[in-house]
Structure 1
Amino acid sequence: MTDREPVDQTSGTSPAGRVTAEHSRRNFLTLAGTAGLGVAATGWALTPEAYAASATGTAAPSAAKGGRTAAPTFTPIRPPATPLAVRSPYLSTWMATDNLPGTWPTFWTGRITAMAGIAQIDGTAYVFLGAPALPNTDPLPTMRQVNLTVTGTSSVYTLEEAGVRVTVTFFSPVEPGDQRRQSAPLSYISATAKSVDGKAHDIGLYFDISGEWGYGDTSAEITWAQTDIGTGANRLINLNYTPANPSVLAETNDTASWGTMVWTTQHRAGLTYQIGEDNVVRARVVNGGALDSSIDTAQPRAIDDRWPVFAFHLDLGSVRAATEPMVISIGHVREPAVSYLTTPLAPRWKTYFAVWQDMVAFFHRDWSAASKRATNLDDRIRSAARKAGGTQYAALVATALRQAYAGTELVTAPDGKAWAFLKEISSDGNVSTVDVTYPCMPVFLYLDPAYLGAILEPILQYAETGGWPKQFAEHDLGAHYPNADGHNDGNEEDMPVEESANMLIMSAAYLQRADATAARKFATAHYTILKQWSDYLVGNALDPGYQNQTDDFTGFIAHSVNLALKGIIGIGAMSVVATTAGKSGDAAHYLGVARDYIKQWVTKSTDTSGKHLKLAYDQDGTWSLKYNGYSDKLLGLGLVPTTVAAEEARWYLARAGTYGVPLDIRHTYTKADWEMWTAAWLSDQPKITSRLIQGLYTFGNTTPSRVPFSDWYDTTTDRQSGFQARPVVGGFYALLTV
């Protein structure tokens, strides 16, 4: 992985150059006053306020009488950016400011993916989502945000104005063990309204999206349609659009250049829709009317040519009590999903549904049941995380779940089995990068070990049959997502010890948690290649030469203590593989080598001060986070002496600052995933574990770098150093796996 120039979203707008004269007509609003947030765990049976109180044991903030309130407290965290629709590498839209109204949502890169929400309350239009505005008019009034509740699967915004409360929920399911549901590249948005002043109010709710969701260049042309899915009372109204000139299996600005954007809701009394110019469509609602269910015929046309939007409006009539939710599903559907060695692979949902309309219908009608499953999952994660690391740790794992899973997607392999591919988001864009899969491993081990197995399978198969020419493990399956073209010429970002050990450790961790039959089959099928990589490590891991490693932004390094530790644990991991495959002799051999090497490693690694381990064998007076110790604990190998772990814990504690512990002596920056790996490794040293959690929580809660959670940040400035939206935040779950 290689650093790229980070996207600056500190201001809550897109990168420099995005807001030009071309876009000035969209009139970005800047809200005065303090942003208001409050965060807890999600739940559809309770109001966000009541759920926050039940989850935290504290009262939710209440509205002051007679005017706008002060900002509510954050419970449990103010996310650097809030996930809205975050489900796959190409469905990844976030809100990079505290408030839902006043700023456009953005793709993870910072490129605008506009979504507008307007509430009609007694004839007056109030913005509750995005930054819609009409030309030659005053800025539209906005609703006041009261609360934001964030959990692993949902972001719930509560807004109030004119005696009305509107609750908007962005729900991106995570479905462990359910390939049919997990493979659907779709997300939910739901909204309810109720009176909070005891009076009845006439209310209408309006949502739209722009063409920006479906292509990475606003000068590109799109075509659109309205499609009925189902009939009668079950009829769904679907608005969809596609690039007019798609490029299959290609990207434009990290966005798929092919596929269909789908935007769906249930037909019901009071529902109207429209596809047309943004100013024309929104004006109907702002002026108190409904939509006319018409389709603009001026197509294809460019996304930025009169900005076609895809809109739904629901007239709720006179409202006192909370309304039934208005549910919209949104998604980006691609066929094929990826390619593997030039063979196009279908998305996994095609195994269950003949056409995308059937998949969308199933997903949309599953909302109620999916909501209950999500509540149970969120409760389970929150409870386990609190027990393992406290409320701040529970907040961190909640911020990580959608981001981790959305970096991956399920496809069908050439032999019909389920594979999962991962995109190295915001760095190289590689396909299934091994040293990016490795740090996000804990979330899959905790929730769905079979999913990790599905990620490992194509990596292993390529080395076995795809033409990979080297003795050690490959770095990735392709230079750029979504094409797993391999590196049959051997020309890639080699990390020999790093990737070989990563694959062995991940394979062993999967085997320890998989069904016994599946584990034996996996170990037997892949034994030859895993043994090959183990033998490479036997010859190279104890004292690695001048090699690259996962923290490649720090540069190549020789005699790396942390890399040697990983390699030794990788050799020990082969004993787990051998045991599972029924090869007891090999198991004893590799475990014996690992035990012998770790004794030498301790001697070579210990600084002459006797107080800590070094960065490299030949660099006395240096140090670094030995996060690879987590894998030893994870696999139960017992290689690293407890005295060494305790010594390292004391050293890190003395170097902890407000925002965490630096990665090593050379810089003030750190890696969030490795901090949580270190916290898990040293979990029997509660002071350093607590301090690491506190530092990362404080960074996430206060950083002015408003991007999807960055895993590479500076521990002195509280700012992003690079990287964002990457699946490696799955590493936050490490403490739940030991």
Structure 2
Amino acid sequence: MANKLRPPAVPLATIDPYFSIWSNANQLHAAETIHWTGATHGMVGLAVIDGKVWRFMGGYDRRSDFKSLNAPAMQQTDLTIKPLSSIYTFEAGGITLTVNFTTPLLLDDLDVMARPTSYITVKACSNDGENHHVNIYYDITSELAVDVPIQEVVTSRNRLEDGSQLLQVGTEKQEVLKRKGDMIRVDWGYATLVIPDGTAATTAIGSVDIRDQFIEWKTLPETDDQHFPRAVDHDMPILASVLDYGEVGVKEVSNYLIVAYDDVYAIEYFNKHLPGYWARNGQSFEDVVLASIREYSVITEKCNRFNNEMIANAKEAGGEKYADILALSYRQAIAAHKLVADENGEILFLSKENNSNGCLATVDVSYPSMPLFLLYNTELVRGMLRPIFQYADSKAWPYEFAPHDIGRYPVAEGQAYGMELKRQMPIEECGNMLIMTAAVCWAEQSTSFASDYWGLLQQWANYLIEYGMDPGNQLCTDDFGGHLAHNANLSIKAIIGIASYGFLSGWMGNEEGVEYLQKAKEMASQWESMARDDDHYRLTFDTPGTWSLKYNLVWDNLFQLNLFSEDLKKKEVAWYLRKSNPYGTPLDNRKTYTKADWLIWAATLAEEKTDFQQLINPIWDFLNETDSRVPFTDWYYTIDGRIAGFKNRSVVGGLFIKLLADRMDEPK
């Protein structure tokens, strides 16, 4: 087992569910870069060192209609994953090359976080004491701007007011917001390569043959290809640049590029087209790119500082492997959302249920992802909840319990999961909404957000009192396991949901708060007697010999409710340790698969740090050893490390629960 994490896939440029580029190879030059869906979203990087061309990124494709590049690969000597950065190091020809992919998803600065721009910084220095002449070639393909390669694209080039170069490619038809679903890519807007002013560079727009021509001649064509529009799979158009580093000695020389995407409009929100948050006040794409250039030094310094602080906090909370897990999770969790503002200027932070069904703003996806956002900006949790409250309060929602979603990404038009009763998750979603609202208020030390939606919260709390103690046959967030009656873990969620309403009500000065808290306490006592199964607690109340991860219990600790006994939690943790497999403890007794988010929630119940580490370290082993080379999957088998389903989902934000628990345990 390696001491340094080998990620199953490395985030490179990760902004939102559509603009999302990864490498799923051990070496950056061993395969084409991809979109999280697996479709090729190609980028190629070449280094010319004293006249010899070396490849450091991409350049290989299994499809017979695209050529592999005839350039030797540099030796990749290191890869470091940080929350905001993926940093590769290469050596060849007496030069050390450091390639830093940084997407500034700074949650305390939403203007910067929402920008559709990602930095690629390439640094070169001599490692043999001699001077070497260095050029860096970098390109992106038109694959970034289409869903399928038969779509036709057009290209353009422009200069910003500061002199920076913009090369762009997008579909000819520009059918904005006409496509919705899961395993698809954006086919409107414009993929953009930005070369900042002051960079000694040449650029070209042409076919993929530019790469081979550059390897042979070391220069780009003097004129752009004019044969547009044309399909991506016909002489695939690319946007190319060459940066001249001059003579490079032992002193490091640095340049950067920006990869960006102008999506024009991002979300259709109940018949209203909303741009990305970055454009909410009429800012142009060019304005945002200019700001990204102007603030490069300040932003990258903030990113470096955040990287170091978050990693240090994670190590203190759970050890080095926990820090690695969180570093790999951070960008994925954020970039599985789109940030927009509604017509009132209020934030909507909308998840896409990636590689599941593409649902928009799914409640039981927001619930597990919430810990990351509670830690760094509670306004984003408000932004998850607002669309659900608004939809549930409309005539379009017919049920007395909370909805599951508001549509299929990127179109909000009502629940997409299904409207028939058998497709609902009534206990699940009511409990989620109550707990999430309480968590926002707890983190902010204010009940103002809850008061805006008090009628719905009361309605859902009463629903849980009536139906939550012993849930009927229904789905929960673990719907891949099918319908389940008498679900003990789901009952915990109902009980904590009722208590959440109770403490919020009491906090607001309402006398009924005491009644709801007392009811939750009575139900918790009843739960312990109904679920007890010798040295652990059951999966379902009516089935002896069963068990499951009781991950919902974590909120009893975080909210300091003390509804459930400490002895119960100790027994459960001991059971999870006993049932752990090479890659973690299964979700329940029915299958050997687990959910990484729920496993870390369950591990957070442990009183001893060593027990927490023993439960979560197998997740690190899974990431390091799995043959399923996809962005962090939350659902996998604990025996052989195979993916069971799901990739690149926002729920990995839930892995931050231990950091959140440590913070919430601090005196208020």
TM norm structure 1: 0.86
The offset of 1:132, in angstroms, is: 5.3
Map of 1:723 onto structure 2: 646
Q: 1:265 aligns with which of 195, 198, 220?
A: 195
* Aligned counterpart, 2:349: 420
The separation in 1 between residues aligned to 2:332 and 2:396, in whole angstroms, is 32
Distance 1:135 1:501, change over 3 A: closer
2:283 is aligned with 1:354: yes
On the 8 A contact 2:129/2:250 being kept in 1, the answer is no
Q: Structure 1 residues 105 and 121 mapped into 2: Cα distance closer, same or farther (>3 Å)?
A: same
Q: Percent of counterpart pairs with the same letter?
A: 35
CA apart distance, 1:352 = 4.7
Equivalent residues in 2 for 1:9-158, closer than 5 Å? 76-131=4-59, 139-158=70-89
Aligned equivalent of 2:666: none
Letter aligned with residue 105 of structure 2: V
Aligned residue for 2:537, secondary structure, equals: coil
CA offsets per residue over residues 170-216 of structure 1, 9 Å max, x none? Answer: 11112122221111122111101111111111110000011111111
Residue 496 (structure 2) aligns with: 569
Q: Secondary structure at the match of 1:241?
A: strand
1:255, 1:724 → 2: CA distance?
15
Structure 2 residue identity aligned to 1:612? H
Conservation of the 8 A alpha-carbon contact between 2:470 and 2:486: yes
Per the alignment, residue 190 of structure 1 pairs with 121
Following superposition, which runs of at least 4 residues in structure 1 exceed 6 angstroms of deviation? 133-138
- SS of the residue 2:302 aligns to: helix
String of CA shifts for 1:670-712, please: whole Å, max 9, x gaps. Answer: 0001011111122x14443121111111111111111001100
Q: Read off the aligned partner of 1:183 and give its amino acid letter.
A: A
Task: Check conservation: 2:280, 2:340, Cα contact below 8 A.
Answer: no
Q: Does structure 1 residue 605 correspond to structure 2 residue 535?
A: no
**Whole-Å separation in 2 of the counterparts to 1:549 and 1:419:** 24
Tell me the SS of whatever aligns to 2:525.
helix
- What is the CA distance between 1:102 and its match in structure 2? 2.4
What is aligned with 2:664?
A: none
Deviations 1:73-127 (A, max 9, x none): 9554111101111121111111001101121011001110110001011111111
- Asked if structure 1 preserves the Cα contact closer than 8 Å seen for 2:102 and 2:119, the reply is yes
Distance 2:319 2:68 in 1: 50
Q: Is the 1:523–1:578 Cα contact (8 Å) retained in structure 2?
A: no
2:110 pairs, out of 169, 179, 199, with 179
In structure 2, distance between residues paired with 1:155 and 1:428: 29
Paired with 1:204 and 1:132, the residues of 2 have a C-alpha distance of 21
Q: Distance in 1 between matches of 2:295 and 2:580?
A: 46
- In the alignment, what sits opposite 2:160? 229
Residue in 2 that maps onto 1:16: none
Q: Residues 114 and 269 (structure 1 numbering): CA distance in 2 closer, same or farther, change over 3 Å?
A: closer
SS of the residue corresponding to residue 459 of structure 2 reads helix
Letter aligned with residue 197 of structure 1: D
The aligned counterpart of 1:345 is: 274
Residue pair 1:225, 1:295 contacting (<8 A) in 2 also = no
Query: 1:266, 1:332 → 2: CA distance?
Result: 16
- Alignment partner, residue 553 of structure 1: 480
3-state DSSP class of the match of 2:47? strand
In the TM superposition, residue 138 of structure 1 has moved relative to its aligned partner by 8.0
Matches within 5 A, 1:386-465: 386-465=315-394
Contact 2:245 2:253 in 1 (8 A): no
Number of residue pairs aligned between Structure 1 and Structure 2: 654
Q: Given the superposition, is the C-alpha separation of residues 215 and 119 from structure 1 closer, same or farther in structure 2, using an over 3 Å criterion?
A: same
1:539 aligns to 2:466 (yes or no)? yes
Q: 1:698 aligns with which of 587, 608, 621?
A: 621
After TM superposition, the structure 1 = structure 2 runs for residues 236-251 of structure 1, keeping only pairs within 5 Å, are 236-251=164-179
CA offset digits 1:490-525 (Å, max 9, x no partner):
4483100001000100110011112x5xx4331211
The one-letter code matched in structure 1 to 2:563 is L
Counterpart for residue 576 of structure 2 = 652
Q: How far is the alpha carbon of 1:657 from its aligned partner?
A: 1.8
The 3-state SS of whatever aligns with 2:604 is helix
2:224 is matched with 295
SS in 2 for 1:181: helix
Distance 1:499 1:143 in 2: 51
C-alpha contact 1:190 1:328 (8 A) present in aligned 2: yes
Q: TM-score, normalised by structure 2?
A: 0.95
CA–CA distance in structure 1, aligned partners of residues 383 and 67 of structure 2: 54
Cα-Cα RMSD: 1.8
Q: Counterpart of 1:129 in structure 2: which amino acid?
A: M
The one-character-per-residue Cα deviations of 1:120-143 (angstroms, maximum 9, x if unpaired) are 111111111002599999832110
Q: Secondary structure at the match of 2:476?
A: coil
Closer, same or farther: CA 75–381 of 1 in aligned 2, 3 Å: farther
Q: Choose which of 164, 184, 205 in structure 1 pairs with 2:95.
A: 164
Q: 1:246 to 1:200 in 2, by over 3 A?
A: same
Counterpart Cα distance in 2 of 1:102 and 1:616: 48
Q: 1:332 aligns with which of 261, 264, 269?
A: 261
Which of 494, 506, 511 is equivalent to 1:585?
511
Question: How far, CA to CA, are the matches of 2:291 and 2:397 in structure 1?
Answer: 40
Unpaired runs of 5+ residues, structure 2, are 662-668
Q: Could you say if the C-alpha distance between residues 483 and 136 of structure 1 is closer, same or farther in structure 2, counting changes exceeding 3 Å?
A: closer
- Seen in structure 2, the aligned counterparts of structure 1 residues 487 and 708 have a Cα distance that, compared at 3 Å, is closer
Change (3 A) 1:275 1:499: same
Gap runs ≥5 in structure 1: 1-72
